[in-house]
Each structure stands twice: as C-alpha cells, then as structure tokens.
Structure 1
Amino acid sequence: MKKILVLLLLCIHTIAFAQHKQPNIIFILSDDHAYQAIGAYGNKLISTPNIDRLAKSGALFNNAIVSNAICGPSRAAFITGQYSHKNGYKVNDGVLDTNQRFLPEILSQNGYQTAWIGKWHLGSLPKGFDYWNVMPVQGHYFNPDFINQKNDTLLYHGYVTEVITELTKKYLKDRNPDKPFFLVVGEKATHREWLPDLQDLGAYDSVKFPLPATFYDDYKGRTAAAKQLMSVGDVLTLKTDLKINQPFGEKQKVNNQPAKPAVKGKEIEESMMRYYQQGEYARMDSVQSKAYRNYYGQLAKEFAQLNLTGNALKEWKFQRYMKDYYATAKSLDRNIGEILDYLDKNGLSENTIVIYASDQGFYLGEHGWFDKRFIYEESLRTPFIIRMPQLPALKDKKINQIISNVDWAPTILDFSGIAKPDFMQGKSFLPVLKNPQIKNWSKDGAYYHYYEYPGPHYVSPHFGIRTDDYVLVRFYKGTEAWELYDLKKDPSELNNIINDKHYSTIKTELKKKLNKLIVAYDDQEALKVFNQALQVN
C-alpha cells in the first residue's frame, strides 16, 4: 500500500510539472572551474557569493561527473548526449562532426529558440542554434574575438567574462518573448593561463592557501600518475603561467569593428589559431597592459629577491597559481550574479531553469597537479548546480546520486516534455530532482573513457567505472595497468588495492559491471583492451 501511495504522489507531481508551460533554460558552462573552488562545495577561503546564491535557491550535486575529463569532448558529450566514441570527438584538438543531431536542433523542432554565446571550442562552427556568437579556438581573456552566425569576426574591447555577459543580456533583450529559450553561456574562465580582470588583481594576495595533503604525493603503486606532466612545481611556467618577467606588450587601440576580413568555415578556425598563437598578452591595450605590468612587475621583484629553489620554489608557485586562479574566478562569479539579477529584474526568474556547471573538474594542487584528464575525483567530478522554480522543494538541497554529463541533454529534453531520441546514451535525472531520496539510481555505476595521448600532459588513455563506493580503471598505452580504489576508506585515491586479496570479490564484481557498461554503450576500443587485459590479468 505504501509503494502505491508513493507512486501515486510521483504521478501527481509529474502531471503538475508537465502542466507548466515549457520552461526557459539557461546553462552556464565554465571552463576548468573546480568544485572545490566554490563556497557552496565547502571552500571557506574564497568568495563565490553568486554561485552560492544559486545553490541556496536550488540543488547542488555532490557526484556530478564527466565521461571524458577534457574541455572539447565534454562539450560534445553535453550537446549530443553521447559518449566520445559515439559522437566522434575524443581529443581536444578534434573537429566535431556537424552531420549528427544535436540537442538544440531537437529543442528548436519543439518550439524553442536556441543560442550559444561565448566559448565553444569544438573545432567546427556551431550548428542547430538559432543564434550564436562564439570565440574561436580557446578565446582570449582581454579584447576577445567572436564569430557570429553571419561568419563575421569581430573584436570586442574589454574583459572576456564581462563581454560574454553583455552579449548574453543583449540576446535576452532581443529574443522573441513569445517563445521559450534555451541558452548556453560558455565562459572562458577559469582556463589556463588564469588572467584576472583588472579589478581583481591581487584579490587573494592576503591569503596563504594551505598545501593539499597530497601535494607531495609519491604515486606509489600508480604508474600512470607517476608518468604525467602536470605538476604545479615542475610544469607550470614562471613567465607564461605565473606572469613573472612577462612584458605585457601594448597593442593598437581596439574597437568593435571587424578584426580582419571575414573568412568562412574552417578558414576562420585556422586563421584564428595562428592569431591565438601570437600570445594572449599581446592583445592588451595600454591601460590593461600597464595594470598588469605594475602588478606582476612588483611580484617579479619580490620573487627575484627570494631566490627560491627546491620545495620552497614549488610551494611559491602553488601560492601564485591559487591566487591567480581564484582571482580569475571572481569575475566569473560576479557575472553570474549579473545574469541572475537580469532575470529577476525582467520577470524571467519564475519560469527559467538556471544550471551552473564546469566542463570537468580541475586539480588545485591535489597530487601536486594542475589540469584534469584523470578519472580520479578532482578532475572526474564537476560542479553542477540547478535552480528550478517548478520544483520549489529543491531549495538548498544536496544530492548525492551520480549523474554524468551525457545525462545533461536527456534531462533538458525531459524538462520540456520532449522524448529522448534513441541515439542519446544518457538518461534523464529529472526523477532524482523530483525525489532526491530515490534509491539505487546509480547502483550500476557511471562510465568513463579518456583517449588523448601523448598530449601535452602525458596522461595514459584509460577507461573505468565509478560507483558510489569504488573506482575501477584500466590504463592502456603508455601505462598498462589496472587500478582499484575504495572511496570510503581512501577518498584521496592514494592506495591502489587492485592486488589486495580482501577486495578480490569486489574487483570481480566491478569488472563485470564495467564490461556490461562497455557493451551497453558499444565502446569497441575499450572492449578490445578489456578482453586482452583479462587474458593477461
């Protein structure tokens, strides 16, 4: 009888939700913004009042993960609802095949107006959106170029996060008010090389950030982790990344005029890649470059006087990395507040779902690293916060079920009463939002596959399964090895227990689950590696 009542209540709730008119949806997608860099996720040393504000009025996911922890492939998984091996975008310098169906096309066919503004980073130009205005390649922090749907390349004066916000507000003002909209706001922050807005220079200079407990990880029993090239102490560069003795050369005055004769399609990407390689700092105008020269020039003098070596140098680089990273995130948070305020002031908040997420997690010194790529927690997990006026009971909720970025597109369709197409491999987590206590949602675990090798950081390709309690991973190319972690006993993933006899039953069960996911998602490359590995191990 109790089960019948629960099902009846869920049905009533579903009918009530469906009776709302189709909601507007804004998806704010940042770049490399770590969940542990957000106040709502427990960071007490920094300030993210507007992301925290979103979390207090909505739901925060503690176990939102990605299917391939690298920028472009993560975006491709988002708009296709497919894993990398199906949508074809496996590595960061690829070109997304636009002959396949994307989320915005399906929404457009069902009454939505769709738009993407800001960072795109998928090689080809956007398809399926009614409106788009995106940055070529990685985009720039200062005076960025944008390509619009007319294939015009325009240079906008200012700091990138503020430019994106102004373009976002203009789109919201000019859109058709009689149709629902789906808008992706693609932020550049907090991507390397972490250039703060002028008003945020030195924002965290008074804070001494504690070294992560794993900063001096020795990688014992973890060959792939030992081979990587993403160490804060050894890989981050003083001049480019940390801006010590960087000249910050001036550039001619900029304005909102075409930066060069417009070119079409792939030519745009190639020409802008050449332009990007000329250097981020050369884009600054005289005011911007002067502010940077003054601030980082003083730091360079102080650094020279210290004459650091060894661990002291590594720890100094860590402090500078943190201060620049968090200072860059200040503008991101401030501009999220600008967008939320615009919705409030213009009567849009009541029927607009707002989502904040990053394209993957990021290392903030854990294991001694920056960057992402690994299946390990800090890069696998991404912040994911959603405010749904249609579900007021979600206010200030923490949700622990595992969701993946391949689930984002099916869920967005479900919000609008649109059936998921067969090609999408993810599943809607709207049932979790309606009932955060739902049982066995992630009992089969979530699938992960990273491909890029050698790449800039020499992270071996690997695939694996993440459950509520364990991570099982198979590395191949570069490193050939299995790894297993007990997340409850070893949340920092320092102890590879793959050969621990006490976990032999769990290892067997997880391998069966992993094989089941590989077959279900038709990952032929992983299946071949998996079968070969079983013969050896």
Structure 2
Amino acid sequence: MMNFYKTLILCSILLLGFSCKEQAKEEGKIEKATVPPNVVFILADQWRAQSIGYLGNEDVITPNLDSLSKQSAVFHNAVTVMAVCAPWRGSFISGQYPLTHGVFYNDKPFPTEATTIAKIYKKAGYQTGYIGKWHLNGHERGEEHFSARNKPVPKERRQGFDYWKVREVTHNYNDSFYFDEENQKQFWEGYDAFSQTDSAISYINKNKDNPFLLVLSWGPPHDPYHTAPEEYKQMYDASKLHVRPNVPEDFKDSARNVMANYYAHCTALDYSVGRLLAAIEEAGVADNTIFVFTSEHGDMLMSKGVLKKQRPWDESIKVPLLIRYPDKLGKTPHQIYDPINTPDLLPTLLGLSDLEIPHSIEGTDFSKALIDGDELGNEAALIMLPVPFHEWQFMNGGREFRGVRTKKYTYVKDLLGPWLLYDNEQDPYQMHNLVDMPQFSQLKNHLDGILAAKLKATNDEFLPADDYMEKWNYLYDRKDSLRKENYLELNR
C-alpha cells in the first residue's frame, strides 16, 4: 500500500511539474504574442517588379531578396496606385488615395495635420525613425518649383518621425547630404544607400529593447542609372542581358545598356538588404519584426520605347513587395496573386501589429488573410493619373487616366472613354490591346463596372487635370499644362 501512495504522490508531482511547464509555455506564448512587433520598412525608388530574381528575372543578381522571399509573404501583383514618387508616399503614410490627401503631383505639400503611420505607432508607444528620401514637404504655391528639395523639413512637418536623417529629394547618390533632427546639414559618406543602411543598423541596435518603427528610404535604382558603385557595375555585361519583347527593335541596345546600370543599383541595394537582415538577427529581434521590402513604382526601361514611370503598363505600376513576420506568419513562403494597392499597406501593417485602424484610412487591412495563409480576396487595384506632369506631361503624350489591375486583366480609361484592355495571362507583355474588339465587350463592361465602383468608393469624379489643380490651388511646374485642345485624339 505504501508503494502505491508513493507512486501516486510521484505521479502527482510529475503531472504537476508537466502542467506547470505547459502553463509556463502557454504564458510564454501569450507574453511573446503581446510584445508589440517592430516594423522595418525598406523602400526603394523606381524598382520594378520585373527586375528582381525571385519574380523570375534571371539576369539581375539579388540573392538576399531571393532568400528573404523564401520566408515571406510574396506579392505577385503589388500595384502602385499612382506610379510617381510623392503621390505614392502620401498614400503609403496615410492609407488614403491621392485625391483624398491631395498629393497627386510631385513637390506639393502633404497636409501637416494628417493621420500618418508614424503618428499612429508613436501614440502606441513606439520609437519612430526615418532615414533617406522624404519627398512630402513640397513647396507652397508661388515658390520656385523644386525649391524645397534642398531645404530641411520643419519638425512639425515630419509626420510623427523623431529620429531623422532626411533629404527631401536627391538623385546624386555619391555626393549626398541630409538634415538631422536639429536641421543641421550632414553628409553621407560614399554611395548614400550604404551609409543610410549603416545608420539604420545603428538605429535597430539602439532600439532593440523597445518597439520601434523604422522607414529606410533609398533613392536608387531611380535614374541616373550609371551612378552605382563600380564593383556592382562590373557584375553586368550589357550584351548578355535579356530584353523584354515589348522593347522596340531600335531600342534594344539602349535598353541593355540602361538595364546593366539599373541592375547594378539593384544588386548594391540587395547587398544592403542582406546587411539589414543580418543585423536584425544579431539584435535578437528577427522573429518579432515585421520586415517589409517594396518600391514606390517601376520603370519602363525602354518597354514601349520609353523610360521611367507614370504610365499604366505593368513595368510602371507593378512593384516588388515582401512581408516577413515570423511570429505571426511563420517562416515559409506564402505566394499571393490577388492585387494589393498602395493605400492597403498601412492598414495591413496596423492589423499585423494589433493596432486600431483610424477612420481616416481608406485602404483595406489584409492582415487576417496573411495570418491565415489565404489569398486576399481582393478583385482589383486602382491605378490613376489625375494630372500628367514632368516626365509624362501633356506635351509628350501624357493624359489623365483611371484604371484597374486585376490578377488577370488591365483595364484603363482616359477622358474619351475606354483606352486599354489587356489579358495579362495570355499577353504578359501587354502588346495586344483588346479594348475595341467586339468579342471582349462583355469583359470590358465588367471591368468598367469594377472601375466605376472603385471611383465611387473613393469619391473620384474623374475630372480633367485643370479641375484638380484649381481645387487644390496648385500651379503647374515647367510647361506641364501646355496642350492642344484635341491632345487626347492625337494620342489615340
């Protein structure tokens, strides 16, 4: 009998110990889950989706991003709402569409009083930091255009970011300065993306014991294309690069030369991504850090015979997007083909961070779909150009447009009506416009209905450019507004 009681007591102790261990484990899980995640948001400028290894480009060298994609949510149809710098930035930090926050034209001032990503995270107790290109301060009406690009951003215009090493805009990556928290002018050493990455790593190490939001905004691979460090330029032989079929024959040699230099920037940035990921691991915060890599917009790189952005074609509107968050999303890749739009980024980050989403935000929170490993359930992303300007102004063919990019189709209207319709699965280089073909009229009407619903939801009346410039009291820069009365018909 005594042996029985001894055995019973021993089993009770073992069970109690096991139960305590399990309880400790569960408490650990709960404690771990309630620790606010850090957010490291890496933004490249003008890096198109078609120029990255993990999305199928066999020429560009991006081993660190390719490796990151194997642990991330991988978005195959990340669509910029407006393929130009300042409008994208305004939509990202506010979760609003360009005609709501008002920055639908570069170098116009983003509203000081707006509810923004840094203000939200700061209110939740986060440290907030911003390094690199800003492009949201802008200049007031009547000031010389581009005049704000070399000036410091006043503290009240920093939208909630406290740590501050920022230049409004520069594309001189090898002789680059910035302003610090006290508006003192400082210089980045060498290729600025490398020095900016050093600063980001320092920020991570100093704040690893507290929740933090860090945005690192690089200028490259935005042109000038030829300014990457020489060691990265030496990695590419232009004559061996593949050219997309929608590059006209007469432009193929030019395209290869441009791409060689563009890819050199991409590989230099990929090296910096590797350094950042290593630093986050060494700081011990990798699992509880939401790490995002994306770009503002793409670059045509001689597809359709043109460079740069603003156009409605995939080379301009599609960008890379990776989100890694091991604690909630695991460490296996999640391939996502439903489109996601620029205003959706902020609410999705807030959802992943368990933070309340303000009513001012117009984008959609897709965090649940990411956590569940599902598709987004989103039919289309909105694309727009309310006012053509600068690189694609009226004088060189720019036009107002609205459109939608679905998983399969692109549909775009200008002020005269339907303009473009592509089946992107059958025609991935968008070389065959189906918009006037009778057999696709039902599809066109369906997509037109989706677009109409998007415009209604965002209170977009799709007016001529001058109406929006007048409404927001903006002046055109340069000669953007010069156009013939029949400019739309001439561009057909």
Asked whether the two chains share a fold, i.e. TM above 0.5, the reply is: yes
Determine whether 1:168 maps to 2:182.
no
User: In structure 2, what is the equivalent of residue 521 of structure 1?
Assistant: 458
User: In structure 1, what is the equivalent of residue 13 of structure 2?
Assistant: none
Structure 1 unmatched ranges of 5 or more? 1-14, 218-310, 530-537
Q: Deviations over 1:364-421 (max 9, x none)?
A: 3322332121222121111001111113545122211211111111011112211211
Give the letter aligned to residue 24 of structure 1: N
1:361 & 1:201 partners in 2: Cα distance? 20
User: In structure 1, what is the equivalent of residue 168 of structure 2?
Assistant: 136
Determine whether 1:369 maps to 2:340.
no
- Is the alpha carbon distance of 1:79 and 1:392 closer, same or farther for their aligned partners in structure 2, counting shifts above 3 Å? closer
User: In structure 1, what is the equivalent of residue 482 of structure 2?
Assistant: none
- Counterpart mapping for 1:132-531 below 5 A: 132-175=164-207, 177-194=208-225, 195-205=227-237, 208-216=240-248, 311=250, 314-393=251-330, 395-438=332-375, 441-443=377-379, 445-458=380-393, 459-476=398-415, 482-526=419-463
Deviation at 1:183, TM superposition (A): 0.5
2:293 & 2:338 partners in 1: Cα distance? 17
Paired residues of 2:336 and 2:375 also in contact (CA < 8 A): no
* Alignment size in residue pairs: 416
Give the letter aligned to residue 371 of structure 1: K
Determine whether 1:24 maps to 2:38.
yes
- Bigger radius of gyration, 1 or 2? 2
Give the letter aligned to residue 473 of structure 1: V
Give the letter aligned to residue 181 of structure 1: F
Q: Deviations over 1:242-264 (max 9, x none)?
A: xxxxxxxxxxxxxxxxxxxxxxx
Paired residues of 2:164 and 2:181 also in contact (CA < 8 A): yes
- Counterpart mapping for 1:46-65 below 5 A: 46-65=60-79
Q: Please give the root-mean-square deviation of Cα atoms over the aligned residues, in Å.
A: 2.4
1:120 & 1:17 partners in 2: Cα distance? 36
Which structure has more RCO (C-alpha within 8 Å, separation ≥ 6)?
1
Deviation at 1:333, TM superposition (A): 0.6
TM-score by length of 1: 0.73
Paired residues of 2:86 and 2:135 also in contact (CA < 8 A): yes
Instruction: Give the alignment partner of residue 87 of structure 1, picking from 93, 101, 104.
Output: 101
1:206 & 1:448 partners in 2: Cα distance? 32
Any idea what SS the aligned residue of 1:431 has?
Answer: helix
Give the letter aligned to residue 485 of structure 1: Y
Deviation at 1:206, TM superposition (A): 6.6
Any idea what SS the aligned residue of 2:300 has?
Answer: coil
1:394 & 1:63 partners in 2: Cα distance? 21
Paired residues of 1:211 and 1:365 also in contact (CA < 8 A): no
Paired residues of 2:128 and 2:213 also in contact (CA < 8 A): yes
- Is the alpha carbon distance of 1:370 and 1:528 closer, same or farther for their aligned partners in structure 2, counting shifts above 3 Å? closer
Paired residues of 1:136 and 1:145 also in contact (CA < 8 A): no
- Is the alpha carbon distance of 1:170 and 1:494 closer, same or farther for their aligned partners in structure 2, counting shifts above 3 Å? same
Identity %: 29
Q: Deviations over 1:43-63 (max 9, x none)?
A: 112210111121112121101
- Is the alpha carbon distance of 1:173 and 1:139 closer, same or farther for their aligned partners in structure 2, counting shifts above 3 Å? farther
- Is the alpha carbon distance of 1:428 and 1:18 closer, same or farther for their aligned partners in structure 2, counting shifts above 3 Å? farther
Give the letter aligned to residue 451 of structure 1: P
1:380 & 1:160 partners in 2: Cα distance? 26
Paired residues of 2:71 and 2:332 also in contact (CA < 8 A): yes
- Is the alpha carbon distance of 1:116 and 1:52 closer, same or farther for their aligned partners in structure 2, counting shifts above 3 Å? same
- Is the alpha carbon distance of 1:448 and 1:46 closer, same or farther for their aligned partners in structure 2, counting shifts above 3 Å? closer
Deviation at 1:23, TM superposition (A): 0.5
Deviation at 1:37, TM superposition (A): 1.3
1:51 & 1:451 partners in 2: Cα distance? 33
Paired residues of 2:238 and 2:256 also in contact (CA < 8 A): no
Any idea what SS the aligned residue of 2:383 has?
Answer: strand
- Is the alpha carbon distance of 1:16 and 1:465 closer, same or farther for their aligned partners in structure 2, counting shifts above 3 Å? farther
Give the letter aligned to residue 449 of structure 1: M
Instruction: Give the alignment partner of residue 102 of structure 1, picking from 98, 116, 122.
Output: 116
Give the letter aligned to residue 71 of structure 1: C
User: In structure 2, what is the equivalent of residue 115 of structure 1?
Assistant: 129
Q: Which moved more, 1:510-519 or 1:484-493?
A: 484-493
1:360 & 1:151 partners in 2: Cα distance? 29
